[in-house]
Amino acid sequence: MRVAAPGTVVVIGAGIGGLLAAAAVAGCYQKVIVLDRDRLPDGPALRKGAPQGAHVHGVLASGQTALEALLPGVIDDVMAAGGDVGDMLADGLFYVGRQRLVAGQSGLQGLVASRPLLEWVIRRRVAALPNVEIRCGVEVQSLVHDAARQRVTGVLLAPPDATQPPSLLAADLVVDVAGRGSRCLQWLQQLGYGAPPLSRQPVDVTYTSCYFERKDTDLPGLRAVLCAHSADFPTASGMLEQEGERWVISCGAFANAAAPTDLEGFRAYLHRHAPPETAHVAAIATPLGTPVQFRYPASEHRHFERMPCFPAGYLVMGDALCSFNPVYGQGMTVAACEAVALRQCLQQGADHLAPRFFKACARLIAAPWEITVGSDLALPMVVGKRPFGFALMNRFMDRVVHAAQTDLRVAKALLAVIHLTAPSWSLLYPVMLWRVWRGGFAR
Ligand SMILES: Cc1cc2nc3c(=O)[nH]c(=O)nc-3n(C[C@H](O)[C@H](O)[C@H](O)COP(=O)(O)OP(=O)(O)OC[C@H]3O[C@@H](n4cnc5c(N)ncnc54)[C@H](O)[C@@H]3O)c2cc1C
């Protein structure tokens, strides 16, 4: 690959977004240093800086394609480490509310592995790249900035103890992938660049999750049961087979309808708010620990592409750029697609990188953002302005789901939109409209 610029890249954050950013830039720069304030475990273990790892994590089909583009063979590596793949409608069940999509070969592959496993496999691959170094237990305190050149020239690292001064790490490019809690907004303000416009959709979702022992007899032939929420069934849930003969069950409830964190309460909640197969497994399987919770207040997209002035030598990616309501399983996929976009931008050179990169990200975030916000607003308890024609579009989507219960082609088209492998308007192709209309007669 053509080297866009000699020199060093510092990546802040060794989460999945940061690791994929490192993979993207490794072919374009001489040296890549990934920093994380966590002590990174030498195996697939939960860690403090990524508490979401205790909850269901699915990778959409488009995300798997992006992962393979960045790290060829990585899905095989996940499988060798205990993960697995399966067809979304042949090896799993997919519900929208109480309606189940027809079973059959969807051609869309789901990846079943825990987030800690996925991160560990990706980290091993990235650490094996000859010019990448991952340093853990290192916290970035602030950016180093050359005001005359309007350029970020490195980062200041917090000292191991407060009596020492912070140390400087110089870089030609700093990629901030420090997650939702990134200090990018504060840093940009302090450096005089102001704040990016913000799109924000409050959702107030609470995830509650628990691991269970898995036996082949629990749900013969099935690896996953996913349930998207609907207006009359407003809890999303997911049950995925995980490495180590386990199931993970997560449910995401809106407003103040969270599942209880005591086991019996959680099981009873699943009976009312999850598909019967999920409730069945929770009822018969041996729990591995007690349910844990994660509260997610709002989806946020920071529009750096609309800032009149942005420092050279600095980029923001992953959840720090756009964080989606997790119930749609988009975060890792979008982070992987952003990393592919970063590599493509660098292949065209390193000049004016930030505006080109943020513009490319804005384009690729548009579709998942529309799905997230559109589906959130379909719930009456979610506050926000419904756009013109919203009720009509919702009625159409209800009909699509209804037809998808019996028509495999409609089910595949719907899943392709959810997995970001087809645009949402593909559901409006004449052949789809005909099938959806015909499906309506079965109502
Ligand atoms: C409950 C829940 C469920 C989810 N489910 C899914 C799913 O099913 N599918 C999906 O695709 N996505 C899902 N997501 C989203 C997904 O986890 C993230 O989008 C994805 O992991 C990318 O995150 P990231 O790498 O940008 O940030 P993070 O994972 O937050 O990583 C940021 C890293 O930066 C480090 N860091 C932070 N500040 C500093 C600093 N100053 N110095 C050094 N290091 C620092 C942290 O320690 C951390 O390791 C879910 C999220 C949640 C909360």
Mean pLDDT of all residues in 174-203: 98
pLDDT at 5 over 70: no
15 within ligand 1 shell (Cβ under 6 A)? yes
- The predicted model scores a pTM of 0.96
Closest CA to 29 of 206, 171, 156: 171
Q: How far is the CA of 31 from the centre of ligand 1 (A)?
A: 24
pLDDT of residue 163: 87
Average pLDDT for residues 417-435, to the nearest whole number? 95
309 pLDDT more than 90:
yes
At 3, the pLDDT band (50, 70, 90 cuts) reads: low
Q: Is the CB of 333 within 6 Å of ligand 1?
A: yes
Q: Whose CA is nearest to atom 53 of ligand 1?
A: 52
pLDDT of 4 strictly over 90? no
What pLDDT band is residue 151 in, cutting at 50, 70 and 90? Answer: very high
Please give the Cα distance from 12 to 135 (Å, whole number).
Answer: 10
Q: Is the CB of 18 under 6 A from ligand 1?
A: yes
Rounded Cα distance between 361 and 184, Å, is 17
The CB of 329 under 6 Å from ligand 1? The reply is: yes
Which domains, from first to last, does the chain contain?
Answer: 8-49+118-197+303-373 (3.50.50.60), 81-113+203-298 (3.30.9.10), 390-440 (no CATH)
Q: Indicate whether residue 177 lines ligand 1 (CB < 6 A).
A: yes
Tell me the pLDDT band of 13, cut-offs 50, 70 and 90.
very high
Task: Give residue-wise pLDDT tens across range 77-126.
Answer: 999 999 999 999 999 999 999 999 999 999 999 999 999 999 999 999 99
Which residues contact residue 312 at a Cβ distance below 8 angstroms, ignoring those fewer than 6 apart? 149, 150, 151, 152, 353, 354
> How far is the centre of ligand 1, averaged over its atoms, from the C-alpha of 112 (Å)?
18
Q: What pLDDT is recorded for position 6?
A: 76
Query: What is the pLDDT averaged over residues 190-215?
Result: 97
Tell the burial category of 219 from Cβ atoms under 10 Å away from its Cβ (0-12, 13-18, 19+): buried
Query: If you measure from the C-alpha of residue 191 to the centroid of ligand 1, how many angstroms do you get, rounded to a whole number?
Result: 25
Mean pLDDT computed over every residue of the chain: 96
Nearest ligand 1 atom to the CA of 319 is 26
Q: Is the CB of 55 under 6 A from ligand 1?
A: yes
Spacing, Cα 280 to ligand 1 middle (Å): 31
Please list the residues that pair with 134 across neighbouring strands: 34
CA of 115 to the centre of ligand 1 (A): 10
Q: What is the pLDDT of residue 2?
A: 52
Using CA positions, which residue lies closest to atom 9 of ligand 1? 329
pLDDT in tens, 250-261: 999 999 899 999
- Using CA positions, which residue lies closest to atom 44 of ligand 1? 36
Classify 393 as helix, strand or coil: helix
The alpha carbon of 181 and the centre of ligand 1 are apart by a number of angstroms equal to 9
Dist. CA 320 → ligand 1 center (Å) = 9
